[in-house]
Amino acid sequence: MNKKFTAWLLAWGLIFTGVGTAQSSVAAEPATSVANDTTGAVNPPDTVATGPGIDVPTPEPSPSATATAEPSAEPSATPSATPGIVDPPQTPSISLVKGGNKRIKIYWGKISNATGYKIYYSTSQTGTYSLVKTIKSNATVKYVKTGLTQNKTYYFKMTAYTSENNIVAESVFSNVVSAKTGAIGSTSKTAKSYSSKAKFKKSPAYKKYAALSKYCTYSKSFPIPGMKTTNVGGFAAKKMIPQGICQAGGYYLISAYDYYEQDETVIYIMNLSTHSYITTLVLPNKAQANALAYDGTNVWVSKGSNVAYFPYSVITSAVNSGSSFTTLSDYTGYMKLDVKPQVLAYNDGILWAAANNSSSSSNMYGYQITKSNGMCTLNQKYRMAIPSKVQGITFDKEGYMYMTRSYRSNSSLSGYVSQIRTYKPNLASPSAKGSVGKGSIVKKRTLPAMAEGVATYGSYVYVLYSGCKYTKCKYKVDRVIATKRSHLQQ
């Protein structure tokens, strides 16, 4: 018997037992009008760790489930296969569904042998399911349906399909999932834990650490936005973990990822002079953006095991749009480096990248940036030995390098550290093999727990903290803390 014909019989047997009464005809796609549909080809979510290079503290109570998985009902459209010609691909599985402001999004696992996917939806679990979107890339694993009615429950299911020689074979339907739309709040602008200067000065962290009580310039410090709630592309995220910070043109940029892995990573855009929150840039996926850097033309972002970049014009466009958020459909480019780029810094034409190894020292690598026709290439030029547990690095115009080191949420845990160090590396005289000495420690100060990224601007060094998002962190800091550079140089 012909092997493909046998495979076809097996496929129909699965359809008969798994879905319901099989039909022998190929179902036509229903003609539907899709209003305000937003679907971009995004990369598969990178593997996301459950903590920002630190221990995994006990999380705050998980938010209520935003969707419920339902047993699949008999479909209104029958997945198809053409006997003897094209075999249908594996059935996809929807891994996440979430309701938002007049919209619902779903995530699923990539099917390697598929050409793409077909998304169906209905207003009733057992009602008629309409084809709402055909996605023509198997690398796309996210779909957002917009223009929905507020406070209404919708049901979704999907198939994978293979297309060969203009013949389409569609898999069995996936699991059915449902979610309810609903209005969400704006991204919070105020501090999460301490609402005023007086309350902040009474905080355990301020009372314990001279880095705050003696050296913090409060007037230059500012609350971290989004720590109460973040509008992530029309969806509410309650536990965004701040990671990286950099100064870019007239703005501060702060990256944060969703602890619960339901929403995409974001960049909060803040006014450089007033320190006020302006808007949010939603990144293409859920990969932790541990670090940010700005080279005068592009913004660089750590993206899992890669480093990605996009033009600074994306930031200015987001600000000028006047919208509460702007979604970046994809990066201009990304590439793999010698290390996982969890630490990024830019200085004098060189992009520095390092991993925040928690147990051993490692190398930070310096890459020469070459730009041509809007695209960038990186060529390794330098390397510098750095200690373990580095979270952030930045340089100033005087040649000083400031480095934050942090590990674990409180000092009772093994391996705990939280500090800032100042070095003056010999950048002008590398060895023949490109080795750059960081020199001796110029200054070292103990910081409150969970120090993350660090940036410089003017006469100040700015340190970002994530402690306000962890229940086990006793000495929480909910602000970006400014310290005069002179206090860290002597």
Please provide the DSSP assignment of 288-326 as one string.
Answer: ----EEE-SSEEEEEETTEEEEEETHHHHHHHHH--SEE
Of 34-43, 337-346, 354-363, 372-381, the one with minimum mean pLDDT is: 34-43
Residue range(s) of every CATH 2.120.10 domain in the chain: 197-488
- Rg over alpha carbons for the chain, rounded to the nearest Å, is 25
Q: What is the phi/psi pair of residue 6, to 5°?
A: -60, -45
Residue range(s) of every CATH 2.60.40.10 domain in the chain: 3-31+65-180
Over residues 322-326, the mean pLDDT reads 97
Q: Tokens at residue 69, please?
A: 């998985």
Confidence of residue 212 (pLDDT cuts 50, 70, 90): very high
Specify the higher pLDDT residue, 103 or 55: 103
Residue 361 has pLDDT above 50, yes or no: yes
Q: Which helix (DSSP H) or strand (DSSP E) does residue 63 occupy?
A: none
Give the list of residues 6+ apart from residue 424 with CB closer than 8 angstroms, or none: 399, 400, 401, 439, 442
Q: What is the phi/psi pair of residue 48, to 5°?
A: -110, 120
What confidence tens digit (pLDDT) does each residue in 377-425 have? 999 999 999 999 999 999 999 999 999 999 999 999 999 999 999 999 9
User: Rounded mean pLDDT of the chain?
Assistant: 87
What confidence tens digit (pLDDT) does each residue in 17-72 have? 333 333 333 333 333 333 334 333 333 333 333 333 333 333 444 444 444 444 44
Q: What percent of the chain has pLDDT over 70?
A: 83
Residue 375 has pLDDT above 70, yes or no: yes
What confidence tens digit (pLDDT) does each residue in 183-198 have? 999 999 999 999 999 9
**Position 460: which residue type?**
Y
pLDDT of residue 304: 87
Residue 214 has pLDDT above 70, yes or no: yes
Of 71-80, 129-138, 347-356, the one with minimum mean pLDDT is: 71-80
What confidence tens digit (pLDDT) does each residue in 433-485 have? 999 999 999 999 999 999 999 999 999 999 999 999 999 999 999 999 999 99
Give the list of residues 6+ apart from residue 392 with CB closer than 8 angstroms, or none: 244, 245, 291, 343, 345, 403, 404, 451, 452, 453, 454, 455, 463, 464
Residue 79 has pLDDT above 60, yes or no: no
Over residues 354-365, the mean pLDDT reads 92
Residue 339 has pLDDT above 70, yes or no: yes
* Cα dist from 95 to 68, 109, 282, whole Å: 11, 7, 20
Over residues 161-190, the mean pLDDT reads 95
pLDDT of residue 165: 86
pLDDT of residue 80: 52
CATH of the domain spanning 3-31+65-180, picked from 2.60.40.420, 1.10.3720.10, 2.40.50.140, 2.60.40.10: 2.60.40.10
- The arrangement of strands across the sheet holding 94-100 comes to 94-100, 103-108, 142-145
Over residues 331-355, the mean pLDDT reads 96
pLDDT of residue 34: 34
- Confirm or reject CATH 2.120.10 for domain 197-488, answering yes or no: yes
Three-point CA angle 480, 486, 487, nearest 5°: 65
CB 331 within 8 A of CB 308: yes
- Kindly report the pTM of this predicted structure: 0.84
